[in-house]
Structure formats: structure tokens, C-alpha cells
Structure 1
Amino acid sequence: MINLDTEEKIDTPPKDRRGFSSKVLLISVTVILLGVGVFLYISQLGTGDVQISIEIPDNVKMGQPFEAEVNISNNSSENILESKLTISLPTGIILLDSPDKRNDVRELEEIPNTNVLKEKVRLIAVPTDSDRGHELRASLTYTTKSLSAFFNKNTVVNVSPQNTTFDIDMTVPSVIFSGQEFSSKILLNTSQIESKEEFNDISEKIKYYLILENEDELDLVSSEPKSSFNDLKWEIPITEEKDYELNFVARAVNVSTDVLSLKPRIILNFADENYELDRIDENPLLAPSPLTLGIRLSDPKSYAFAGEELTYIVTLKNNTEVPLRNVIVRTQLIGEMFDGETVDTDGKFNSLDSSIVWSSADFDELSSLGVGRQATFSFAVTVKKDFPISQINDKNFVLKVNVTAESPTITQGVSTDRTSTDATLQTKVAGDLDLKNSIYFDESEYENSGLIPPKEGTKTTLSVHWSVENKGTDVRGVQLRSRLGSNVLFEEVLSSPEGSTIEYDESTRDLFWNLGDLSAGAGIISKDPEAIFKISITPNNSDIGNFIHLMDLVTISATDEFTGISLSGSSASVDTSGLSDSGFDAEDGRVISNE
């Protein structure tokens, strides 16, 4: 038998792997190059023909509004869609229309091809700690109909504001006497502040002020123009006139050095922030006043109470190197709360003008006040007990005392024909709170039950009325409080002003009426604020023949808005002998037996 199963080995040539790798590499490079080409093509298609730029004025000035313009040029073959413009502001550049924002983001309309869109933004440059320029940036994101991707374009421009200078010129004496009036003039060149029609709608939000940094060292006597702020601050008007002139009279006070540093500053106020645009420093010498004149209260304080007696001390000292002849010291009392009939003084009092005069005719030391010598005078006067209140604005009364001293002797360094000085002391009159505590059994509006005289074992209810009068000043945080007697129960609140609350603590028996704030004249030129609540008593055997204690003293407290001090008052405690019913006999308050 022949076996036909055979195995034949067929030799095959080996594969060329180097050729295969070359083909793969070639394909990969081709794909990459094709991808890069497509990417560059799409990028060029998306951004190459869209441009963005920012234009700003050539002369941006510090502290003055200006307008920047962002230009978006679409030179592509397609419309720009879903575009958003973001304008980013550096420190020192503020949006006029939205000062709190650091980015102005705008959703833009469709921009047709071959068109230019102009977006304007109103800005103002303000001083910062950096002297470098400010980079204003704009960024545009967009897409087109044929491209699904979003593209971005950015641009930046450097804003370098010029300083706004006012050429401040201040005329002031080279030597100023402490406590003596002196005159000064300040000239400003306001030509660099331009008024532009496109900013008229916000002109009221941009203000320029002239300020003197001497609030604690200068007492302003007068100025032209007058200050609208009752201090060393004047608004600079923007008019066609290019110069601003301020004339003022002041005196130096509370200066501890021999130089008075005067610092006129030009301030921009915008969005409740102040920015300094310009300033100068003037440093005249400060010399002691030829006459030192002072007035104070014997009990130094800034306030007084109605009905209080005040004692004033006037002191005078000669600081010159020569005696001062025939010195006259004159004091005038200004204020309707002074009671002129109570003035007590060794000087001559004139009730017609409320003045007191001390002269050499009555005081030998004033005939020739020696070098370095001092004279002291005093007077007493009582504050009126009653406030002159007839209308709602009758409040915040002030006691003002002006005192002057002068001598015909001319001293070195004084340019007038006499040597003189003056001083002023102002004292605020604190407000006065009165409370009334009335307790009724028989009244028509709120019916009570039980018996008067109180009867053993019988419950009797009573109505309590608390009312308040406020005189002289506005007050805040008014509170009345008391404590009920041990045999007294709190029943209910009957009435109280809107916004006030009555609270009772059963554990302590304390009672509170939180009234809140009161205007001056409440209860006098307007209806009394009044709280009404009900209490009850049930006498027991041990109370027979006695009065029942209803309530401890009532106290009132508040803060005076004018003087800042705490005000307080009180009314006496009340028992059943003190009911306020018409015709009530105190003996009817004694508890009787039920037999």
C-alpha cells in the first residue's frame, strides 16, 4: 500500500518591513499637513478679515471725562454673529455710567460683511499711586454662519492722562498771630476744566472742590464766596470764567507749633469718592497773640440743661513787651435761652443788648495791664427753664458768648490802630423729657370693674396712662420702665402708638414701653405719645385699712441727638391713694373689709 499523505514545504520570501513603515510615515505626515492647512485656512477665514481697535483723545486729562471708541471692522465675506464685546478697565480709569464695574460687557447686533461697528464708552481718569500709563483693553468674541467655532480678537491701548493743574496761588500774611483774625486770598486757573455737551447729563455727578486741610486749626470767620458746607470747603463752578477767586477771614486755633501749615487742595468728587488733583503748601509763621483771651465754664462741658445756673470765667493776658493801656473787655450773651434777669456780675450789664463790660473806669488793673500780667473776670447766668417752642423747627438751642478785649496801645507786628482780640464759647442746650403717669378707675373710654375704695377679696381693674413730652431736641431710643407692686397683675395692652411696644416680664414684674425716636416738640406742638394698659388688684385681709402699692417710680431714658448725651427722668411711685380720677379723695384708696 502506498501512503499518499505528504507534507510539502513551500519557501516564501521574507516581508520588506522597512517599506511598510515608510508608507505609514508618509500617510501620517500627509494627514498632519492637511490638518494644519485646514486649521490655518479656517483660522484665516474666521479672524483674518475681522479687526478691532480702540481710539482715545490725544489729550486725556486727569479728573475730566473723556470718550473712547471701539471700532470693529468686518472685512470678511460673511456676517458676524453672536458677538460680544468686553471692555476691561485698569486701575485709575472709571466708567462714568457704571462706576462700580471694572468690565463693560456688551452683546452686539449682527455685523454685516464689509461694515464697521463703532461702540463708544464714557470714561474718567482718576489719580492712582502708580505713575505708569493705564492699559485699556477690548476683547471681541464672535462666530459666523458657516463656522461653528467661536473666535476671539483682542486689542489694547495705553492711556496716559495729563495732570490737570490749577496754578494755585495763595496770598497769606508771612506772620499770623494765634487767635487773631487774618485775611487770605486763593486764586485758581480753571481753564483746564472743559465743559463738554456730551457729558451734560452727568455734570451733576462730577464735582470739583477747593478744600483747606485745617479743620482743627482754623476757625473760619467769613468767606466770599460763602461755603455751602459750613466748613473749609468750597465748590468750584465750571463756567466760562477761567479764574476762581476765594477771599476768606479766619483765625488760627489749637496750633501747637510755631508754623501754620495751610494746604489748599483741589478735589474731584465722583461716585462718593474724593481724588486729589492739585495742591500747594503755605507755611506762615505763627506768633503768640499780643492778647490771650479765653472764656470757659467753671464746670467745663459742651452742654447745659434748662434751668441750670452757669458760671463763666473770662481770662486776659498781655503777651506784648509793653503795658497795655485802658483795656476794655466786653462780653455779649447771644441766645434766647439765656435768662437775662438772672445775670450776676461785677461788670456793667446792659439788658438791652445783653452785654457785660469791664473797663479801667471800674477796674484798676485794666488801666495799665503790665507785661505778662493776667486779669480774670466772671459772671453767672441761668438757663431758662422753659423752651420757647411754638413751631416744629424750634429746637437745638445754643448759648453763645462772644468776648472781645482791646487797647489803644499799638504793639509791634500788629498792623491795626489798636491791639485787640476776641473769643467765643458756644454751649448746646440739652433736651428735656417729661413723663406723666396717670392711673384711673372711672373713665368712659376703657371700662373698669370692681370697687373703689378697694374691697377685700374683690378684683378691681385700673387703667394706666403713660404719656411723654419732648422739648428742645430730637431724641432716639426712648424707653419707659417701671415695676408693678407685688399684689398687682398685668392684664392687657389697651393702646400704644404705632411702632412702639409694651413688654411685661412676669418673673421680675418689670414693665417696659419702647417708644423709639421722638421729634422735638412731641407732646407740645403735636399730640402726646401715650401708652394705655390695664392692671388689677385683689386685696386680702392684711391690706384692710392700707393703701396698695401699685407701681414703683417710672423712669424714662433716651439719647439726645443734638448733644449726644443720655437724657433721663422719672415720676414718683404710685399707690391707691394717688389715682387720677376727677374728684378722687386719697382716703378712698384704703382697702375696706368685705364685712
Structure 2
Amino acid sequence: MSLKEIEGKIYKREGETPQDKKATGNSPSLTEKNESPFAPTFFKTEEAKKNGVWIKEDEEKKAKKKKVVKIAAISASVLVLLSGLVWGALYIRKSSFSEDKVTISISGPEEIQSGDMVTLEINYKNENRASLKDAVIDISYSENFKPLDNLNLESGGPNSSRHNVGTIEGKSDGKFELRGKFFGTKGLLTYINVKLQYSSSNFSSQFEAEAKHGMTISSSPLEIEVIGPQSVSSGGAVTFLVKYRNAGQQVFRDLKMKADLPADFTVTTSEPLPASGGNIWYVGDLEGQGSGELKISGVLAGQPQETKQFKFALGEIGSDDFIAYNETSKSIKVIGVAVALTQTINDKKDALLVNTGDNLNFKIKFRNVSDTALKDLILTEEISSPALDYGSYRDSSGSQGALDSNKGIISWKAPGLEKLRALNPGEEGELSFSVKIKDKVPVSSAKDKNFSFTAICRIESPDIPTPEGENKIVSGNGIAVKLNSKIIVREEGYYNDAEISNTGPLPPKVGEETTFAIHLKAENISNDITDAKIVVTLAPNVSWKDNFLPKDANIDYNDRTDEVVWNIGSLPAGVGTITDPKETIFQIGLNPSANFVGQYPKLLKSTVFSAKDSFTGQNLEAKLGEKDTNLTEDLSVGSSGMVTQ
């Protein structure tokens, strides 16, 4: 058998022709190389099974790969879709709100008059589609603005208010009015500031919108006029008369006058007295067309040709500073002197505190310090006060001064005082006089208190060299005189008393107790006083019964010193003159010993009334001596106060 026949049989068994073999190529496969033509059929079957498993696994891998790719594609699509939705939502949300589309504004006059009612309109607008929530409008202003009749506002503090808006719908607006009065000086620029605070319905953040409106005060109905000298010599006395007036119709409440004074100016006295700080005076309510005045006296020092500025403002005291409704200024030039002029009162050049009944001794000296003779001089002394007894005036130097008691001015000239006819350079002169303080100053109302005056001496001559247009009057040193208040204590004793019932024998008997009611009365004449108290020392054989009226009186008893202390505290001026005296009643007991038989035994050893004067700062005191059982004020006792056996 030939080789071709053998090959044909082999391929025939395998179901393959030689042509098929050729078609697959001449290179045998790996299977063909390892396969033996004589291998058993069992091995061929196992091999086929393995080949099937491999094919199946490969197909499963391919299927899983396709599934993963498909899932990834779906996820990517979903992610893109979600991103689009989020971006779209954000875009829509953002486009529905813009901070620039929320505005607030104020409209109102640009010029106003101090004290006039002003109405301002506050507008707010939301041009967004989204609504605004928790919206509030804060309004701030200076202290010179007083809100009035704003029922839609609540206070946010001394200089602020708040308007609660709540929700502002989209594409909507609103407005409200702010009413009030501005106070200030002419030309003052003042502002109202508003701030809208809110959050958007689609944002949690807080947003703000602000605006402000400025107004200029064009005029004020309050007028101030200051009358005073244009010039004064250094160390000379100066008196200002400050007049104020309300030219409008409305009332200005609780006004004060503030004076900004040079450091070289010393206030000696003023009418009325300053309320606080020495440079603020209380004016009170000033009705429409109402007016008043303030008088300030003092001494001004400085260098020749130096100008001193004085400023006076009418207004109110704010939380931080004084708020001026109107103000004016006055300037005074310090000039060199041709005449040195000085005075003393009771040998003092400075402020003097006096009591009722005191005698005031004045001495005035003058000397020509220029190089020019001065002729026809006139010397005057101003001492104007209702507390002075002009009837007591005495010219102790024989200078023949003329007193004008209506004006409170004394004048001297030649020939009464010959030195005033001609005063050569370096020449000097002197005069003296006296006047008393009244024993009882006139007090008929609550305004009659704090009596004071400034004694001012002046000298003038047509020959005094001064710049053209300026006066030829030289002022001397001013001396402020203040009157201390007079305090009075009165005491009375009663057996038959309308308020406290007493017991025991009358006349008093040895070894038996008889009680008495003691009445203490405190009076204060012309100034307010503080720290007032009355100390009563009981006599021997007298006991404290701890029974007093009124029951709320501040009374203490010290059994170690036998002192009864009535702590009064403060007492206004006029107690005992324009009002009833301050009074207390307390009960004491007398148990006389045998050595008092036929005598009026002492009930009280001493009584001392002390206080501090609020006007002068002086400590005041009034004393009473012993008081015994000879109670003349109790007509039912009379001579029956004498002790019997």
C-alpha cells in the first residue's frame, strides 16, 4: 500500500480529506502534533469536553464584560442627568434672588427749622421673584432728633428705632413714615440712617440694604443775646446779661443754658445759680414767645490786647454731650490800665461768705499808673442785692458818696472827693464805707433763696487813653458775696399736750415721775441745706420714754450720753417762712430729788441744730441753752412747775 493510500485512509477516518488538510495549511496544529493516530477514543472525548468548558468560560467572561460596560454607561448617563438637574435648580434658584434687587430709601426735606415737626418717608422694594423673610428696618439718628407719634416703631435705644416688616413678597414694595423734631443750631447738618436686614426664602444667609438722608437746620426759633463790655483791664470785673427768647409758638421743654468760658475767667456769682458743673444753668420750659435772662459776674485775667471768647448755648443735656438748639458768642479784649483800682470787703479781696446781720466794711484804693494826668474822675461801686440794708449805709471816710438805693450804686466825684478832680501820674486816693446785711432777708416764695451779689468798683475819666471807639471805664476787682442760710431751732414743753398724754403729779413731787411732751421745730430761711440734725441733751433726773411723733421720724437715743438725736436730712429754703416748720414731739419723764424742792428743775441741758449749706458749702449751727419746768408756753402749768415735797 502506497503512502498516499495510507494517508487517505487516515483522513477518511477523521472525516477529513487531503484537500481539507491542504486548505488548513501544511503546518500541523499543536493538537495534531501531540495526537497520536493510534490514541484510544476515550482520550479524544475528554479533550473535547475540556475544549467545551474553555469556550463556555470565555463566553461568560465576555458577557460579564458587556454587562459592566452597560452598567457604567447607564451610571454615567444618570450622573450627567443629575448634574444637569442640580445645575438647572441652582440656576433657577440664583436667578430668582439677587441682593442688588432689594433696595431701601428715605425721602424728606433737605432744609428744616429747629424744633419743627418733620415727616420722612422710608420706602423698601423687593424686585426678586423670591420673597424676603424676617425683614426688619433699623433707624439710627443723632441725639438732636426726637421721634414723635410713631406707633409703627419700637425703641431700639436712646438714638435708634426699629420697624418690624416680616415677610416681603417677591415683586412687591412697602413704605412707612418717620415723624419727629430736629433741634440744633443754624447750619447744622444732621442725618437719618436706615438699614434693612433680611434673609431670602431660598437662602439661609443674612443680607442688608442701607440708605441715609441729610438735612440742614436753616434757622432756630430760640434767640440769644449777650450784653457785656467790649474790653476790660486784666483782673477786672465783668458782668454778662444773657437774654433768651422763644420766637416760635411751640413749647421747648427742660432747657438749659451752657456757657463755655475762658480758663482765665472766674465766676464770682450768677443769677440764677448754676445747676451743675459751674457752667450750666437750668432754664426749664420756655413757652412760645416766652423769654428770660441770666446774669453772670466774674473776674477776667489776661495779657494786654488779648481777646477772650465767651460762648453761650441754649439746649439740653444729651447722654454724651450738650445738644445746642442755638448759640452765640461774645468777645472781650483785655486792655492795659491807666488806673490801678482795688477794693476789699472786711479786709478780703476774694469771695466772701456772710450771715444775716453782718456789717460789710469796704475800702477802695485807686492810683494813676499812666504818664498822663487824669481829670474829672467818677468812681462808682455797684452793690445791688435785696439782702442789703441800704438804710445802714455809712460813708466813714467823709468822701460824700451818693447812694442810689433803687439801683444799688454808690457814686463819688469832686468836690466830695477832691482827689477825683485831678489825679496826676503816680498819685493815689482811698475811700471807705460800710453797709449791713439785713437781719431778716425777704423770703416770700420758693424763688427767694441763694442770696448773693458781686461788688464791682469802676472808675472813669475822659483822659483815660484808650483806642478810638472804646469806653474809658476801668473796672476793679469784683468780690462775690454770698449769704449763708439762717437756721433756727425752737423748743416748747407741755404737760397738757394735744398729741401726747402725760401723767404724774403737777407740781412735780420728789420721788414721783411726771412726764412732759417736748416740741422741736426746725426752720431754714434762705438756702437749701443738707445733713440737718438736732441733738438734745437731757438733764439729770430726766429719762427717755421712747414715745415720739411722727412715728416715722428718724430719732435715736443714746442712754450713755443722754442725747436725743433727730436726723432731719435735707431741708429746702423757706421752711418756717413760706411753709410750716419741720416738727417732732417726744416724751420725757422727770423724777426730781429732794434738792430740787422749791426750784424749777432742768428738763434739757442743751439743744444744737446743725446742717450744711448747699449754696455756700458752709457748716451752719444754731444753739439753745437750758430748759426747765417753768413752761410759760403751757398756760396750764405756769408756776406749778416748781417741785414740792
Superimposed CA distance per residue, residues 147-169 of structure 1 (whole angstroms, 9 cap, x where no aligned partner) = 68777553234767789899xxx
SS class of match (2:92): helix
1:405 equivalent to 2:459? Answer yes
RMSD: 5.7
Letter in 1 for 2:609: I
1:31-430 matched pairs, under 5 angstroms: 31=82, 34-45=85-96, 51-55=102-106, 69-75=121-127, 83-87=134-138, 89=140, 96=147, 100-101=157-158, 103-108=160-165, 114-121=171-178, 136=193, 138-141=195-198, 153-157=207-211, 177-178=233-234, 179=236, 213-214=261-262, 217=265, 253-258=299-304, 259-262=306-309, 273-274=321-322, 286-297=334-345, 298-299=347-348, 300-331=350-381, 333-339=383-389, 340-341=391-392, 343=394, 345-346=396-397, 347-348=399-400, 350=402, 353=405, 358-361=412-415, 363=417, 365-389=419-443, 394-398=448-452, 401=455, 403-413=457-467, 415=469, 421=475, 425-430=479-484
SS class of match (1:306): coil
| Alignment match, 2:609 | 556
In structure 1, how many angstroms separate the alpha carbons of the residues matched to 2:143 and 2:452?
A: 46
In structure 2, how many angstroms separate the alpha carbons of the residues matched to 1:566 and 1:476?
A: 10
Structure number with bigger Rg:
2
Asked whether the 8 Å contact 1:141–1:150 carries over to 2, the reply is: no
Superimposed CA distance per residue, residues 249-302 of structure 1 (whole angstroms, 9 cap, x where no aligned partner) = 999942223311336688886857446899999987532232333333124543
Question: Structure 1 residues 373, 348: CA separation in 2 closer, same or farther (over 3 Å shift)?
Answer: same
Letter in 2 for 1:286: V
Question: Structure 1 residues 556, 101: CA separation in 2 closer, same or farther (over 3 Å shift)?
Answer: closer
SS class of match (1:108): strand
Question: Structure 1 residues 457, 320: CA separation in 2 closer, same or farther (over 3 Å shift)?
Answer: same
Question: How big is the shift at 1:392?
Answer: 5.8
In structure 2, how many angstroms separate the alpha carbons of the residues matched to 1:361 and 1:327?
A: 11
Question: Structure 1 residues 256, 577: CA separation in 2 closer, same or farther (over 3 Å shift)?
Answer: same
Letter in 2 for 1:51: V
Superimposed CA distance per residue, residues 353-376 of structure 1 (whole angstroms, 9 cap, x where no aligned partner) = 476555443555444323244333
Asked whether the 8 Å contact 1:261–1:281 carries over to 2, the reply is: no
SS class of match (2:300): coil
Structure 2 portions without partners, runs of 5+: 1-52, 149-154, 185-189, 221-225, 242-247, 269-278, 289-294
Q: How many residues align?
A: 540
SS class of match (1:41): helix
Question: Structure 1 residues 162, 348: CA separation in 2 closer, same or farther (over 3 Å shift)?
Answer: closer
Question: How big is the shift at 1:30?
Answer: 5.3
Letter in 2 for 1:294: T
Asked whether the 8 Å contact 2:231–2:470 carries over to 1, the reply is: no
SS class of match (1:461): strand
Letter in 2 for 1:533: F
Superimposed CA distance per residue, residues 471-494 of structure 1 (whole angstroms, 9 cap, x where no aligned partner) = 233434432122334543322444
Q: 2:577 aligns with which of 524, 549, 559?
A: 524
In structure 2, how many angstroms separate the alpha carbons of the residues matched to 1:527 and 1:203?
A: 34
Letter in 1 for 2:196: S
SS class of match (1:466): strand
In structure 2, how many angstroms separate the alpha carbons of the residues matched to 1:36 and 1:250?
A: 79
Percentage identity across paired residues of the two chains: 17
SS class of match (1:582): coil
| Alignment match, 1:243 | none
Question: Structure 1 residues 68, 337: CA separation in 2 closer, same or farther (over 3 Å shift)?
Answer: closer
Question: Structure 1 residues 425, 181: CA separation in 2 closer, same or farther (over 3 Å shift)?
Answer: closer
Asked whether the 8 Å contact 1:499–1:515 carries over to 2, the reply is: no
In structure 2, how many angstroms separate the alpha carbons of the residues matched to 1:521 and 1:125?
A: 40
Question: Structure 1 residues 58, 431: CA separation in 2 closer, same or farther (over 3 Å shift)?
Answer: closer
Question: How big is the shift at 1:324?
Answer: 1.7
In structure 1, how many angstroms separate the alpha carbons of the residues matched to 2:461 and 2:61?
A: 136
In structure 2, how many angstroms separate the alpha carbons of the residues matched to 1:487 and 1:436?
A: 23
Asked whether the 8 Å contact 2:452–2:481 carries over to 1, the reply is: yes
Asked whether the 8 Å contact 1:431–1:472 carries over to 2, the reply is: yes
Range 395-404 or range 371-380, more displaced: 395-404
Question: Structure 1 residues 69, 341: CA separation in 2 closer, same or farther (over 3 Å shift)?
Answer: closer
Question: How big is the shift at 1:495?
Answer: 2.9
Asked whether the 8 Å contact 2:339–2:366 carries over to 1, the reply is: yes
Superimposed CA distance per residue, residues 81-131 of structure 1 (whole angstroms, 9 cap, x where no aligned partner) = 86522235488996745694565432237656654312344699999xxxx
Asked whether the 8 Å contact 1:433–1:569 carries over to 2, the reply is: yes
In structure 2, how many angstroms separate the alpha carbons of the residues matched to 1:109 and 1:232?
A: 47
Superimposed CA distance per residue, residues 287-333 of structure 1 (whole angstroms, 9 cap, x where no aligned partner) = 22323333331245433111112211212232322122343434465
Question: How big is the shift at 1:378?
Answer: 1.8
SS class of match (2:89): helix
Considering fraction of residues, name the structure with more helix. 2
Question: How big is the shift at 1:585?
Answer: 6.4
Superimposed CA distance per residue, residues 410-436 of structure 1 (whole angstroms, 9 cap, x where no aligned partner) = 535365796665776552322211111
Superimposed CA distance per residue, residues 179-222 of structure 1 (whole angstroms, 9 cap, x where no aligned partner) = 498999xxxxxxxxxxxxxxx999958999997654964999xx
SS class of match (2:307): coil
In structure 1, how many angstroms separate the alpha carbons of the residues matched to 2:297 and 2:144?
A: 40
In structure 2, how many angstroms separate the alpha carbons of the residues matched to 1:526 and 1:137?
A: 54
TM-score, normalised to structure 1, is 0.69
In structure 1, how many angstroms separate the alpha carbons of the residues matched to 2:82 and 2:562?
A: 94
| Alignment match, 1:515 | 568
SS class of match (1:448): coil
| Alignment match, 1:464 | 518
Structure 1 portions without partners, runs of 5+: 1-7, 128-132, 185-199, 221-229, 240-248
Asked whether the 8 Å contact 1:265–1:276 carries over to 2, the reply is: no
SS class of match (1:348): coil
